[in-house]
Amino acid sequence: MDLGYGPSFSRDIIREAKCLMVQKGYGFYNTKKLGRVPVEAVEEILGITLSQTDLLKSCGSSEAALIKERKNND
C-alpha cells in the first residue's frame, strides 16, 4: 500500500504472489495466515523492479536494518 496501491489491490497482489510461490514449489505459502511474500514475487507480478528506497519506506525499522545488513554483506 505504501507504493500507492489500495488495500484491495494490495491483497490481490499478495494472493497472486502466494500462488506463484506455491507453483514454484514453496508449499508453505499455501495458507491464509501467511501475509508476506518475497519482493521478487511482487516484482514479477507487477513487472517492475522495486528500489531499496521503496522497500525501506514500506517496512519497519528492524526490517530496514536487516535489508541494509544483507546489502552490506553482498
Domain-embedded: residue 55: yes
pLDDT of amino acid 22: 95
Domain-embedded: residue 50: yes
Q: Cell 525499522 belongs to which residue?
A: 61
pTM greater than 0.85 (yes/no): no
Domain-embedded: residue 25: yes
Q: How many domains does the chain have?
A: 1
In this predicted structure, the answer to whether residue 64 has a pLDDT above a threshold of 90 is no
Domain-embedded: residue 60: yes
Domain-embedded: residue 1: no
State which residues form the domain around 21: 7-73
Spatial separation of the C-alpha atoms in residues 36 and 14, rounded to whole Å = 7
Grid cell of 8 as nine digits: 484491495
Domain-embedded: residue 44: yes
pLDDT, tens only, 2-53: 667 788 888 899 999 999 999 999 999 998 888 889 989 988 998 888 776 6
